[in-house]
Amino acid sequence: MLEFLFPRDWPLYAAGPQGPLVRNFSAWVVERGYTRICARHHVRRFREVLVYNHVAAGTSLPITSTALSRWFAPWSHDTLYRATQRAAERFLCDRCLFIPVAKPSRFDSLISQYQSHLIDLRGLAPDTVEHHLRTVTDFLSSACSKRRLASIRPNDVERFVDQTSKRLRRQTLQHTIAHLRAFLRFCANQRYTRDRLDVIDTPRTYRGELPPRALDWKTVREGLQKSWH
Which residues, 6+ apart, have CB-to-CB distance to 18 below 8 Å? 47, 50, 51, 55, 56, 57
What's the Cα-to-Cα distance from 192 to each of 142, 183, 185, 198, rounded to whole Å?
Answer: 17, 11, 10, 13
Taking only the tens place, the pLDDT of each residue in 29-64 is 999 889 999 999 999 999 999 999 888 766 656 788
Per DSSP (E only), the strands in the chain are: 63-64, 98-99
Q: How far apart are CA 68 and CA 64, in angstroms?
A: 6
Q: How far apart are CA 156 and CA 56, in angstroms?
A: 41
3-state helix, strand, coil in the chain (%, to 5): 65, 5, 35
pLDDT at 210: 46
Taking only the tens place, the pLDDT of each residue in 67-122 is 888 899 999 899 999 999 999 999 998 888 887 765 677 888 899 999 999 999 99
Cis before 74 (ω within 30) = no
- Whole-prediction pTM value? 0.55
Is the torsion defined by CA of 25, 30, 36, 39 positive or negative?
Answer: negative
Taking only the tens place, the pLDDT of each residue in 167-197 is 888 778 889 999 999 999 999 999 998 878 8
Provide Rg for the chain, Cα atoms: 20
pLDDT at 202: 63
What's the Cα-to-Cα distance from 212 to each of 83, 92, 164, 208, rounded to whole Å?
Answer: 28, 28, 24, 9
Residues 3-13, mean pLDDT to the nearest whole number = 90
Is the model's pLDDT at 27 over the cut of 90?
yes
